[in-house]
Structure 1
Amino acid sequence: MLSASTVPTPALTLDVPGARLHYEVRGQGPLVALVGAPMDAASFAPLADLLADEYTVLTADPRGINRSRLDDPEQDSTPALRADDLSRLIAHLDAGPAAVLGSSGGAVTALALAQSRPDQVHTVIAHEPPLIELLDDREHNHALTDDLIATYLGGDVLGAWGKFMAQANIVLPEGALEMIFGGERDAQQVADERRFFAHELYGTTHWRPDLDALRSVATRIVVGIGEESAGQLCDRTSRTLAAELGVEPTMFPGDHTGFAEDPERFAGPLRAVLAER
């Protein structure tokens, strides 16, 4: 059972330009933000619970996802917008500078924050950012992304997810795609999925980091890769980023979603990275 210090504060919101953000805070100590896109606060809750004995842990729903409502539901989500939201949350808590673990699109958000507000973040752990713009075959991959977005918006949900997994080089067990994305589904899950395909995926995968800026900021940049992600698209993008920044990748348990699939195993290496400050 969670102690009082690790129970998340309920139903916190912060008004930001164009949106009202849902966020949660656990624990006490130095500030650590766990950031996803499109993953919401619930995706990081088990990991946040584990860290709350030593850290103040911030989790949030990205703008337009789940409980973070937009003034304009058709607004596109960009790394710059999400980084500004995270900046405002850190300033609101008045507990920075923070360490930020961002995974997938959240890793892109964290890198964008390091570029725009390095004073607010002392460490960025960019876990498998889909930085397609850094790849030599970026145009081919952008075309694949355009096609799978069009497939989804055309109404073929399973077809779109099949193309997504193929591009990512993620192999699911036979029948898993239908089990996860077929049949009756939760309405909020469907709404968040549609937002991801219609308003988030393009902007995230077309974002190009300012490598010179990331090399020059005082913020420590750690590039994280799942031990089971070898050969996947985000393994390639992460290794390319690490090479460009002149750092060795840090390996974490699991694959692209290792932080959610086995948070207890993930927490150990994460604590080690946080302790290196």
Structure 2
Amino acid sequence: MLTSCSSAAVPDDKPDAKPVIQQPDPVAPAGLPLPDPPDVQAPSPRTTTEKPLRYELNPKTFRIQNPDEPNEKVLLLTFDDGPAGEATMELLDILDRHKVKSIWFINGHQVAKKKQDGTYAVIPEKAALLREIHKRGHLVGNHTWWHENLRKLPAEKQREEIVSTSQLIADVLGEKPKYFRPPFGAGTPVSETICREQGMVSMNWSVGSLDWEPAVYKKPNGITRQVISTVHSGGNILFHDRVWTATELDAILTQLEKDGYQFVLPTEAK
């Protein structure tokens, strides 16, 4: 705020000029605000017509986009098969450094041991990792219990794979997942029905890092080259909770940022 500075009045050149006496600023009683000067009103609050940003998943292409700015260079990062433990914290730290949030599609067997009667015992250290993922602002999705191909399972087994994993996530985090990813991208009419019943959105991906292919991850910078060469605006990038992925993730994010991409989550998930 700019303030006016008072100075002593300069006498007039006329010999009979009277000195001008500077009046002190008004002082309000202690604890009370000064009244507005006469004929001066406080400015009205600013209004804005800007629309809040929103990002939606295309249910057919699994791309993410701002429907008001469809050409905006945005990406969604996803990590499957965690929390494996060996590289989970390193991946989280890299994401933090880049201020990136993502979706982690977890397997039930990574967090708990299932008994023959269908009940399970939570693995404390793995549950702690799952809570850490959630605490850092990432979303936790359902990737089934055993990571089996649902198209090779009977309907009742598919239901068990999905429902028990959602329940486990709810037991550890206090909330059920909003997103589901079928193993190998192999969804079924049964899995789609269960997702609707459970209030989940089923999604695959549109950019594969191929960090599961030895021919890619065993080559120097192989994952980086794969992602940078196939990425596109709105890309839904599939990574895994793997040591070799953690080794290259920082370089990948740095290059994508240089190329003008920003990383977002679906708005409805927030």
Q: TM-score, normalised by structure 1?
A: 0.29
- If asked which structure has higher relative contact order (CA below 8 Å, sep 6+), I would say 2
The TM-score, its normalising length taken from structure 2, stands at 0.30
Q: Which has the higher helix share?
A: 1
